[in-house]
Amino acid sequence: MWGIFFFYLALSMAYLRQIQIRWGDLDPNFHVRHSAYYDYGAFVRVSFFNEHGMTPTLLQAHHIGPILFKESCTFRRELHFGDELTISIQVTRSKTDYSRWSMRHELVKQENILAAVIEIDGAIIHTNASLPYRQPFFSHAWRPFPKRLILPG
């Protein structure tokens, strides 16, 4: 089951999702507020998980879940109501046992303009024990995915 999840991530190399900018995402200056960028990143990650079988029901049944250790955003261009926004996610590095990993999100608006980059460090943990989730099939499933850096497990 998890192997299929990471097989699809590996095939796509990057997962793309279009986002609709909502009125409630705007600040008083009619720009997208900074915290909405993080919401967009989370929405795309959860969309990917759901579309590939990693649903909240499945996670709860196995007492596992994703967590973030760090989330940062570099804002490059303003976003406005009506902008066409596409977000990509990609795994950029991981430990050899895949207990920890990093992802990069690129928020691109119309005309291929890079609006922001979100970088996260995270893991899948046992929710009952708050320990990293290490299973052999994780290693096999992640292996084909292109990575910039693999750290010692």
Instruction: Tally the domains of the chain.
Output: 1
Q: Provide the pLDDT for residue 149.
A: 44
Pick the more confident residue, 8 or 84.
Answer: 84
Residue 57's domain is classified under what CATH number? 3.10.129.10
Instruction: Judge contact between 117 and 104, C-beta under 8 A.
Output: yes
Domain of 125 in residue numbering reads as 2-151
pTM for this model (two decimals): 0.80
d(CA 131, CA 153): 15
**Which of 12-21, 65-74, 110-119, 121-130 shows the lowest mean pLDDT across its residues?**
12-21
Task: Look at residue 107 and tell me whether its pLDDT is greater than 60.
Answer: yes
Which tokens hold the place of 70?
A: 């760090």
The count of C-alpha atoms lying within 13 angstroms of the C-alpha of 100, restricted to the half-sphere facing its C-beta, is 12
Instruction: Judge contact between 103 and 91, C-beta under 8 A.
Output: yes
Q: Which amino acid is at 110?
A: Q
Which tokens hold the place of 121?
A: 């460090």
